[in-house]
Amino acid sequence: MAATEAERRAMRRALEIARTPGVPLGPNPRVGCVLLAEDGSEVAEGFHRGAGTPHAEAAALAEAGEAARGTTAVVTLEPCNHTGRTGPCAQALIDAGVRRVVFAQPDPNPVAAGGAETLRAAGIEVEADVLLDEARAVNRAWTFAVEHGRPFVTWKFATTLDGRSAAVDGSSRWVSSKAARLDTHRLRGLCDVMLVGTNTVEVDDPELTVRDEVDEPVEHQPLRAVMGLRDLPITKRVFNRRAETVHLRTRDPHEALAELFAQDRQHVFLEGGPTLGGVFLQAGLVDEVVAYVAPMLLGAGRNAVGVLGIASIAHALHLPVTDVTVLEGHDGEDTNVRITMRGN
């Protein structure tokens, strides 16, 4: 039986609570669950609050108690079928006496998949792929990482109109406006790794933390990763106690991503300079590009993108634009434009 309108409304609600702000990013996907009575009214709801906490289905079942019997569970991701830090959600739904399960996205993780078959074998009605695209969007990076065996890579850079990231004397503060910098912190907070090269640490000494509108570090910080063979002074700010830091001693972007994936990281925010960005682009490992364009001209200076080995316009790398947003300047600051593009 196809999903009813009440079930589709419940799925929209489940997707909404799956996005609840404040849930720390981690190895697990964001999931929401709504339990419906036979008349379509909501009985209970729950969402996953991070690794080691009850899954969305378990949270909803706990809220419902005995009222869960005979309900329809509307879940954004196929109920898991394995025992990890918590028990299998498919079995929990069976034990609770749920009558029907409607879910959006099949679980791409082979370790956890199979919940639908377990539910059907227990005599429970199952309907899949309801609002599938919306559910995949909620867990875009997690889904990509599971399906590709490596983290999703977003490369961010700031540039002048003539493609410069710094002036001839090396000065680069500030190519981007304050509004663009605040927006960058917002995007940093959506990732679980911030990656730079050793040269960026040596020259710019960035702290690589996510900060709020008053420039204070937020509670949950992504992993800071530094890539390269060079030894770095422990006094560099990237090694302070405000966040965890790992030194990836390789120049191979494939090796760097493999090491981060082995640490259960799904979304890398690449903030290195033009050389590191060029290395990842040439390797075909940039999945999204976010460029902040400032209305200024330098005429000379450091290029925003490193050497790509492109000698002819016929071989130019074309990046499909997915979003263009104007970031209004304040107090005399330039207005910047954020252009988001699909990578190569």
91: helix, strand or coil: helix
Dist CA 9 CA 108 (whole Å): 24
Sequence-distant (≥ 6) Cβ neighbours of residue 126 within 8 angstroms: 100, 101, 102, 103, 116, 119, 120
Per the annotation, the verdict on 16 as an active-site residue is no
The residue whose two tokens read 């419940």 is 10
176: nearest Cα among 193, 154, 161: 161
> What DSSP state is assigned to residue 127?
E
Q: End-to-end alpha-carbon separation of the chain, Å?
A: 40
Sequence-distant (≥ 6) Cβ neighbours of residue 276 within 8 angstroms: 195, 196, 197, 199, 200, 227, 270, 306
Dist CA 126 CA 119 (whole Å): 7
Listed as own residue / partner, the contacts of 320-327 with beta carbons closer than 8 Å and 24 or more positions apart are 327/177, 327/179, 327/180, 327/183, 327/292
Sequence-distant (≥ 6) Cβ neighbours of residue 29 within 8 angstroms: 48, 77, 138, 139, 142, 143
71: nearest Cα among 93, 50, 90, 86: 93
Catalytic hit among 7, 45, 57, 288: 57
- Give the chain's length: 344
As a whole number of Å, the CA-based R_g of the chain is 23
DSSP 108-122: --TTT--HHHHHHHT
Annotated active-site positions, please? 57
